[in-house]
Structure 1
Amino acid sequence: MNYRHAFHAGNHADVLKHVALLAICDALTAKPAPVFVLDSHAGRGLYRLDDDAARRTGEAAGGIGRLIELGRQCPPLERYLRAVQACRMAHGSHAYPGSPWLLAHALREQDRIAACELQAEEAAALRQTFAGDHRVAVHARDGYAALKALLPPRIGDTRFGRGLVLIDPPYEAQLEEFDHALAALRSALERWPQATYALWYPIKRRRSLQPFLRRATNLPARSTFVAELMVHPDDSPLRMNGSGMLLLNPPWRLDIALKTTLPALVAALGEPGASWRLDWLKAAA
């Protein structure tokens, strides 16, 4: 696998994923019971937008860079922007938080995080970032295999009834990745059926998503919806026009929170013809 997230850190897809991630964390931590989160493709956890990889693509300029410029003009996105600012206060003005950093920022002392990363260099960086945080366990292993090994979660005498599994694979072979992700979700739901599951996916050719979404409705989840952000018109096969989050067993009112933020993201990051979508594939009975 040749994928390196540093080339794409802070772009529009990261913004969508991280806005949704923080909304889920806030919903889960609204109750006092401990929460367990498994991040299956964690990356290095912390990025610099002034390094060679980020400068080479310049993708962050059209994502977090644009939101930073707008600042307080985007009230629905203040939660996310505060988290990015906290990261920069801790790690410098060019820092950008990956999902493990945001999880550690949003969760509490009693919560636990398992961050999985297969690439040795990225896993080493992840360990360094969280060397002093006892809540975060870094696993240098395949994230899909970790779902089988680590779910249902139990650490010491603590059994976790509530939590989140975040799956954010590289999609180097897009259609095959959908197969792997759906199989992993089905197996994980059998092991830990009450958890929330969030799968990020790219949107290139819309028609290629239809079989994936039809199959997602057959997963053994209580409820399922998708939240999508299109920053380009949905008609170009040559680029990633947007991305989406498949959310299984979402927390109560998560859809309402995202309906508030998605239009703000389109206004801030989209070109003419940009759009957003939030559709329930399966509503709770």
Structure 2
Amino acid sequence: MFSYRHAFHAGNHADVLKHLTLLATLRHLMRKPTPLLLVDTHAGAGIYRLDSDAAQTSGEAGEGIARLQATPAPSHHRSKTVPAPASSAQGAMQNEALADYLEVVARFNPAARGAWRVYPGSPLLMHALMTEPDRAVVHDRLKLFELHPTDAQALRAHIDQLDAGRQVTMTRQDGLAGLKALLPPPPAAGGSRRALVLIDPSYEIKSDYAKVAEAVQDALKRFATGVYLVWYPIIPRPEAHGLPRRLRTLAQQAGRAWLDATLHIGAAADGAGLTASGMFVINPPHTLKALLDDALPQVLDTLREGRGRGAAWSVEAGAARA
């Protein structure tokens, strides 16, 4: 049950899609100066060494975040509205969301010369945004769940180093079960209730797919206006193919807007490993589709190098029901 360790996969193409989408969504939500409840149901260890034995064994970061760090974007993808990044670590990535993602990761590698050695997981990326000077005064809250004993211990140690007090809490528990007690979130001053929930299990167990769908269905009943992000693998398994369809149905039944972004970097030479994944967002920001439509071609151009057939990206979206 506890065999999966994200340390082997940190910074790979799936993390790139997941965290690019997460940060772009959070940036939009944080334009409003009212507190957010941020929930990560499968938080992992929180931060990962890219020079560890685990990362070096898999080599996945080398084909993921490391390539984005090192490879300039094609000039025809550059946005006229985003200035060239000051840090060479960002290369020439000019899409607003992609440049922001790389800049945030770069903050965790301030002394790095050459390839980055550290990759922040979702908990530390969310914490980084909620503690930026302009946002810190709002006092967002971050609730983390992690069930794996080793990762839970590492996550707690990393949280202690943040010295975040009650603003960040962590529980060793099944996050899908723990989510129920958090929704709807308590009202902030003025009565507003706002929440973002990230759901990204390993899906090692087939029943995880059904549990994710059930958790989202329950969450929409408890708090229909929350923003829900679900990462899922694209693999030849009926449960995997069925999950995004089920999530779309749940969003439509609830009358909520949705977005489904996928990234397939192409088959590996040996045909092994995960090559594609998706991010399904319920109640996405209205800006998200355009940002991903512009960013994902750049990501694919960089990550597909040396790969075989199947490389592709897509962003589908549906409007809320009036």
Tell me if both proteins adopt one fold, taking TM over 0.5 as the criterion.
yes
Q: Which has a greater percent of strand?
A: 1
User: Aligned partners of 1:43 and 1:210: how far apart in 2?
Assistant: 25
Which residue of 1 is the match for residue 282 of structure 2?
248
- 1:90–1:186: structure 2 CA closer, same or farther, 3 Å change rule? farther
Alpha carbons 1:35, 1:160 under 8 Å: kept:
no
Find the partner of 1:275 among 312, 315, 321. 312
Runs ≥4 residues deviating over 3 A: 90-93, 155-160, 206-210, 236-239
Tell me the matched-pair count.
282
User: Aligned partners of 1:206 and 1:230: how far apart in 2?
Assistant: 16
Gaps of 5+ in 2: 72-89
Kindly report which structure 2 residues correspond to 1:53-132, keeping only aligned pairs within 5 A, or say none: 53-70=54-71, 71-76=90-95, 77-89=98-110, 93-107=116-130, 108-109=135-136, 110-131=139-160, 132=163
Which residue of 2 is the match for residue 40 of structure 1?
41
State the AA in 2 paired with 1:46. I
State the AA in 2 paired with 1:227. A
Q: Deviations over 1:136-189 (max 9, x none)?
A: 11111110111112222238979661221000101102x422111000000111
What is the Cα deviation at residue 85 of structure 1?
0.6
Kindly report which structure 2 residues correspond to 1:1-285, keeping only aligned pairs within 5 A, or say none: 1-70=2-71, 71-76=90-95, 77-89=98-110, 93-107=116-130, 108-109=135-136, 110-131=139-160, 132-134=163-165, 135-154=167-186, 161-173=193-205, 175-205=206-236, 209-219=240-250, 220=254, 222-232=256-266, 239-270=273-304, 271=307, 273=309, 274-280=311-317, 282-285=318-321
What is the Cα deviation at residue 206 of structure 1?
7.5
Query: Counterpart of 1:226 in 2: which secondary structure?
Result: strand
User: Aligned partners of 2:272 and 2:246: how far apart in 1?
Assistant: 25
State the AA in 2 paired with 1:142. D
User: Aligned partners of 1:63 and 1:139: how far apart in 2?
Assistant: 30
Kindly report the root-mean-square deviation, in angstroms, between the aligned alpha carbons of the 2 structures.
2.3
Query: Counterpart of 1:278 in 2: which secondary structure?
Result: strand
Alpha carbons 1:204, 1:238 under 8 Å: kept:
no
Normalising by structure 1, we get a TM-score of: 0.91
Query: Counterpart of 1:130 in 2: which secondary structure?
Result: helix
State the AA in 2 paired with 1:6. A
Gaps of 5+ in 1: none
**Greater CA radius of gyration, 1 or 2?**
2
User: Aligned partners of 2:273 and 2:258: how far apart in 1?
Assistant: 27
Give the stretch that moved more between structures: 42-51 or 249-258: 249-258
What is the Cα deviation at residue 238 of structure 1?
5.0
User: Aligned partners of 1:272 and 1:91: how far apart in 2?
Assistant: 32
Alpha carbons 1:36, 1:160 under 8 Å: kept:
no
User: Aligned partners of 1:272 and 1:263: how far apart in 2?
Assistant: 17
Normalising by structure 2, we get a TM-score of: 0.81
Alpha carbons 1:225, 1:278 under 8 Å: kept:
yes
Query: Counterpart of 2:37 in 1: which secondary structure?
Result: strand
User: Aligned partners of 1:119 and 1:222: how far apart in 2?
Assistant: 33
- 1:147–1:245: structure 2 CA closer, same or farther, 3 Å change rule? same
State the AA in 2 paired with 1:80. Y
What is the Cα deviation at residue 210 of structure 1?
4.0
